[in-house]
Every structure is written in structure tokens, then in C-alpha cells.
């Protein structure tokens, strides 16, 4: 939307100039206006979200050191790199450098996906004193039972298929609006679940930075443990929101 606005501004600038100067200023005007748009976008950069719990509150399921590094270092890096890539894309567009803009799309996909995925992940977790652990209830339970049989079968499916992710990635429970059902989907790297058309409800990060300091290379142990801090109240709220759209 901001870029379209900038384009409209470019056209307005060009139309307002006297015809004797229009040709001479054609190259400079768009760049100056697009540069202004880039500065405006920079002031609205994506930000690292605050957590609703302290790093130590997810222990013993997830160590405080992991949480601090994961949130304040890894997620922050995704946010920083996303903002840098978006700024560079705007600059490339302002210069008419299509090749440079295309080359930046991988960085936007990777870092943008990292920001989206982690923002959902933090909301999906909570200490037991704040709603973490337990089992799904109400409508969420109905959907999970319909798709997987029961909660234990759901966890077994989720854990097995997420543990099998090659390299780095995520395990997801998503809502299929067209079919009105929930589905499991594994995603590689930082690709967001929305790329599949599913609405993300619950995501578990299986990049090694999410668990290695505590669980070493035993990914299944991490997956078994993290259910103790999954916030099914948040997952249920995401399902209700997805159904309402």
C-alpha cells in the first residue's frame, strides 16, 4: 500500500511540474519521492514482540538460557534482517533496479517467516501458572478429535512428523477454512504456514537453537516436554478468530 501511494505521489509530482521542466526532472522526481517513502516505511519497522512471561517461567520444560537467546538474539536478528531487506527493496525500487529487488525476496521470505513464526510461537506458550499445559477443550478439542481421534493420537502424530523434519523447520497445527477442519503440516526452514493456505494455530520450532542447549540432539525429548507449556487457550482463540473471518 505504501509503495502504491508513493507511485501515486510520483505521478502527482510529474503532473504538477511545468511541461518545459518535466523531461529534465523525470528521473530525479520519482527517486526523491520513493526515497521519502522508504524513510516513511523505515519509521514503521517491524519490532521484536514482548513476552507475557519471563524467560525462566517456562522451566523446566524450556530452560531460561534457551528462551533468552531464542527471543532476544535469534528472533531479534530475524526482525533486524527483515527490516534491512525491506528498506533495501524500497531503495532498489526507487532506483528502478528490478534485479536487486528480486534478489532480496529470499531474505524477506526467510526473515519475514522467522518473525511471523516466532511471534506465533511465543503466544502459543505459557507457564502452567498462566495457562500452559493441560489439554484442549471445547471447540478446539472437537476439531482435534475429529482429525486425529483423540488428544494423545494428535500428540503422537505431531511429535513423530515434527521430529522427522530434515534439518531445520517447524511442526504446525493449522485450520483449513475451506474444509472446516484442522490439519498437521511440517514446514521447512522459516517458511510460514500461510504459504499453504492454512491458518496457523500452533507451531513448534525444531531449529536446534530452540532446544539444543538443554536437550542436545534428542529432538523427540524436547517435543515430548514442550506440551507442558503449550497454551491451548491461545490455540483455541486463534481457531475462533480463523473461523470468524
pLDDT tens over the chain, length 245 residues: 333 343 333 233 233 333 333 323 333 334 444 444 444 444 469 999 999 999 999 999 999 999 999 999 999 999 999 999 999 999 999 999 999 999 999 999 999 999 999 999 999 999 999 999 999 999 999 999 999 999 999 999 999 999 999 999 999 999 999 999 999 999 999 999 999 999 999 999 999 999 999 999 999 999 999 999 999 999 999 999 999 99
User: 214: which DSSP letter?
Assistant: H
Angle at 239 between CA 124 and CA 201, to 5 degrees: 40
Provide the pLDDT for residue 44: 63
Ordered strands of the 169-176 beta sheet: 181-188, 169-176, 199-205
Q: CB-based contacts of 171: which residues, under 8 Å, 6+ apart?
A: 158, 159, 161, 162, 165, 184, 186, 203, 204, 206, 223
3-state helix, strand, coil in the chain (%, to 5): 65, 10, 25
Contact 183, 174 (CB under 8 A): yes
- Residue spans of alpha helices (H) in 28-174: 28-42, 64-69, 76-94, 98-103, 105-124, 138-148, 151-163
20 HSE (CA, 13 A, CB side): 0
Place of cell 526482525: 79
Question: What's the distance, CA 211 to chain centroid?
Answer: 19
Phi, psi of 240 (to 5 degrees): -60, -40
Provide the pLDDT for residue 1: 38
Residue 176's SS3 state is: strand
pTM of the full structure:
0.83
Amino acid at each position: 500500500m505504501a509503495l502504491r501511494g508513493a507511485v501515486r505521489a510520483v505521478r502527482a509530482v510529474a503532473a504538477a511540474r511545468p511541461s518545459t521542466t518535466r523531461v529534465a526532472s523525470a528521473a530525479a522526481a520519482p527517486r526523491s519521492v520513493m526515497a521519502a517513502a522508504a524513510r516513511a516505511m523505515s519509521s514503521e519497522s517491524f519490532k521484536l514482540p514482548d513476552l507475557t512471561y519471563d524467560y525462566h517461567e517456562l522451566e523446566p520444560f524450556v530452560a531460561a538460557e534457551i528462551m533468552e537467546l531464542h527471543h532476544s538474539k535469534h528472533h531479534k536478528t530475524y526482525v533486524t534482517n527483515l527490516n534491512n531487506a525491506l528498506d533495501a527493496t524500497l531503495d532498489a525500487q526507487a532506483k528502478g533496479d528490478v534485479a536487486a529487488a528480486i534478489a532480496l525476496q529470499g531474505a524477506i521470505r526467510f526473515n519475514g517467516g522467522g518473525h511471523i513464526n516466532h511471534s506465533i510461537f511465543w503466544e502459543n506458550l505459557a507457564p502452567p501458572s498462566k495457562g500452559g499445559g493441560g489439554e484442549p477443550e471445547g471447540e478446539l478439542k472437537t476439531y482435534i478429535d475429529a482429525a486425529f481421534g483423540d488428544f494423545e493420537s494428535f500428540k503422537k502424530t505431531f511429535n513423530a512428523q515434527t521430529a522427522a523434519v530434515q534439518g531445520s523447520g517447524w511442526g504446525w497445527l493449522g485450520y483449513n477454512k475451506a474444509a472446516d477442519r484442522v490439519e498437521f503440516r511440517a514446514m521447512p526452514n522459516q517458511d510460514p504456514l500461510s504459504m499453504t493456505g492454512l491458518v496457523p494455530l500452533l507451531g513448534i520450532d525444531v531449529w536446534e537453537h530452540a532446544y539444543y542447549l538443554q536437550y542436545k540432539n534428542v529432538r523427540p525429548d524436547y517435543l515430548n516436554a514442550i506440551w507442558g507449556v503449550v497454551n491451548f487457550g491461545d490455540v483455541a482463540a486463534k481457531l475462533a478468530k480463523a473461523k470468524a473471518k
